[in-house]
Amino acid sequence: MLWGCFSAKGPGRLIRVKEIMNGAMYREILSDNLLSSARALKMKRGWVFQHDNDPKHTARATKEWLRKKHFKVLEWPSQSPDLNPIENLWRELKVRVAQRQPQNITALEEICMEEWAKIPATAGQGPAVGPDPYGAAGSGMNSEWSGWALGCWNLPPSLCEQDDQRQEGALQMARAINR
């Protein structure tokens, strides 16, 4: 799984999450990556944080963590992950990665990082990231959106399974040699 964030100023960090993400891991990822991304992109005060209603995003502990960090969070309509503008970036990343045809999980991760770094800042200024990220749903925001959208992309299982099988085979071979 990949976690990434972006703003109207461009993509922030992209990281690989190797475990199943729960609320505690999500908060750790935010702590380690969100503010550093905001600083790197020179985000001014007052930006609005946006994530969908995934249970780890709406968990009481996550809401409390965001409140303590003084994040302004955009309210999100229920059952609407498709409104998250990062979906457009995931689509762009998937197209770029597919063109390079990675053969294993290591190559996939490297290619994802390379292609994410090539996504121009203007990609965060497309139709999904305009004055109103909700479109007809209405967010009540009337200035250009300067917040953050984030999300996760599940890596293709076939590549992950291939890599897991190779790693297991290498471990078995190493154990046999060391006997």
Model pLDDT, residue 151: 52
* pLDDT for the residue 64: 97
Confidence of residue 132 (pLDDT cuts 50, 70, 90): very low
Task: Decide which of 63 and 177 is more confident.
Answer: 63
Q: Inform me whether the pLDDT recorded for 154 exceeds 80.
A: no
Record the pTM.
Answer: 0.68
Confidence of residue 156 (pLDDT cuts 50, 70, 90): low
Nearest to 28 by CA among 76, 81, 65, 80: 65
77-95 mean pLDDT: 77
User: For the segment 9-32, what is each residue's pLDDT rounded down to a tens digit?
Assistant: 888 899 888 888 899 999 999 999
pLDDT computed for residue 145 by the predictor: 40
Encoded tokens for 67: 């409140």
The Cα–Cα gap between 77 and 133 comes to 11
* Tokens 């897991």, residue located: 164
What mean pLDDT do residues 92-100 have? 90
